[in-house]
């Protein structure tokens, strides 16, 4: 992993169109700004991992597993 | 499926055999799905005729299909707010343009299904253009579906 030291207000450029800026430090947190084109999706890592995991599980269901699917609830 | 979008497309699948679909039924995901960057084209295959559950079948990988639910029958209060950049990217001007699928997982108890309400797959139904979205909201990735009656 490339490791760079940055101060608040300084940035890192990734490729030609992604800029990551260190905004400020607050206690044990760092505020980070990301400028990227709309085609580049930016996520918090833990959310990315969690949703990727659910996607993998959704893709591992077999048609034979669906006997217990609920039907449309009665109004 | 309808047949007004050009030459029918044959999609080989592991689960459903060979499906012949209208090219206009293909949903494009230019950015892939999360953790599945290679899934850039999919079709929605109904699980049964109640219109609630669907398979999002990858067009380019016969083995890959994601179980999904149209959420409102079970989560009537669910109101996903799409970030402005996602609305722009998908060209969604009106809520009626959006189809929403929440991916469904099954757990150790085969009668326990959950739906991912935090990261829905949103599709512009007119443009057949979709993206998986992480909502800026306090929503579960494993919302329990009711057990069958």
Q: What ipTM, to 2 d.p.?
A: 0.91
Quickly state the pLDDT bin for B148 (edges 50, 70, 90): low
Under a CB-based contact definition with an 8 Å cutoff, are residues B13 and B109 in contact? no
Rounded average pLDDT over A29-54: 93
CB-based contacts of B38: which residues, under 8 Å, 6+ apart?
B32, B58, B60, B61
Q: Provide the token pair at A63.
A: 């048609």
If you count them, how many residues does chain B have? 149
Q: Answer whether residue A70 shows pLDDT above 90.
A: no
Q: Inter-chain contact B118–A53, Cβ cutoff 8 Å?
A: no
Q: What is the pLDDT of residues B95-147, one digit of tens each?
A: 889 999 999 999 877 788 999 999 999 999 999 999 999 999 999 999 999 87
What integer pLDDT is reported at residue B124 of this predicted model? Answer: 97
Q: Which pLDDT band, with edges at 50, 70 and 90, does A67 fall under?
A: confident
Asked if the C-beta of B45 comes within 8 angstroms of chain A's C-beta atoms, the answer is no
Q: What is the pLDDT of residue B24?
A: 93
Q: Above 70 in pLDDT, residue A52?
A: yes
Pick from A60, A44, A52, A58: nearest CA to B32:
A52
Predicted local confidence at residue B122, as pLDDT: 97
Q: Cβ contact (<8 Å) for B113 and A62?
A: no
Q: Could you give the CA distance from residue B66 to residue A35 in angstroms, rounded to a whole number?
A: 31
Lowest mean pLDDT among A7-16, A25-34, A62-71, B97-106: A62-71
What average pLDDT does this structure show over B5-22?
A: 92
Q: Within a 10 A sphere around the Cβ of B73, how many other Cβ atoms?
A: 18
Shortest Cα distance, chain B CAs vs residue A49, angstroms:
8
- What is the spatial distance between Cα A8 and Cα A29, in angstroms, rounded to a whole number? 12
Residue B29 touches chain A, beta carbons under 8 Å: no
Residue B57 pLDDT: 98
Nearest-CA distance B81 → chain A (Å): 17
Between residues A72 and B114, the one the model is more confident about: B114
Ramachandran bin of B60, using left for φ above 0, alpha for ψ from -120 to 50, beta for the remaining angles: alpha
Taken in order A72, B65, A54, B133, is the CA torsion positive or negative?
negative
Tens digit of each residue's pLDDT (9 = 90 or more) over B23-66: 999 999 999 999 999 999 999 999 988 899 999 999 999 999 99
Bridge partners for B20 per DSSP? B10
CA distance readout (Å), B89 to A32, A72, B59, B84, B86: 23, 32, 22, 9, 5
CB contacts under 8 A, A 25-64 vs B, are: 38-39, 41, 43, 47-48, 50-59, 61-63
């Amino acid at each position: 992993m490339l490791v760079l030291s940055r101060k608040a207000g300084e940035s890192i450029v990734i490729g030609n169109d992604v800029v990551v800026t260190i905004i400020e430090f607050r206690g044990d947190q760092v505020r980070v700004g990301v400028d990227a084109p709309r085609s580049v999706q930016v996520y918090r890592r833990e959310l990315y991992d969690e949703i990727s995991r659910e996607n993998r599980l959704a893709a591992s269901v077999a048609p034979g597993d669906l006997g217990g699917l609920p039907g449309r609830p009665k109004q | 499926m309808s047949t007004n979008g050009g030459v029918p497309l044959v999609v080989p699948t592991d689960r459903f055999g060979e499906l012949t679909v209208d090219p206009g039924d293909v949903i494009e995901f230019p950015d892939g799905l999360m953790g599945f960057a290679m899934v850039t084209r999919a079709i929605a295959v109904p699980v049964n005729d109640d219109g609630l559950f669907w398979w999002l079948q990858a067009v380019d990988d016969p083995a890959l299909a994601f179980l999904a639910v149209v959420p409102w029958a079970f989560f009537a209060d669910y109101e996903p707010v799409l970030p402005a950049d996602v609305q722009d990217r998908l060209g969604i001007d009106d809520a009626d343009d959006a189809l929403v699928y929440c991916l469904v997982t099954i757990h150790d108890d085969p009668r326990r299904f959950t739906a991912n309400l935090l990261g829905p797959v949103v599709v512009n139904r007119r443009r057949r253009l979709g993206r998986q979205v992480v909502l800026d909201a306090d929503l579960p990735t494993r919302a329990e579906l009711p057990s069958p009656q």
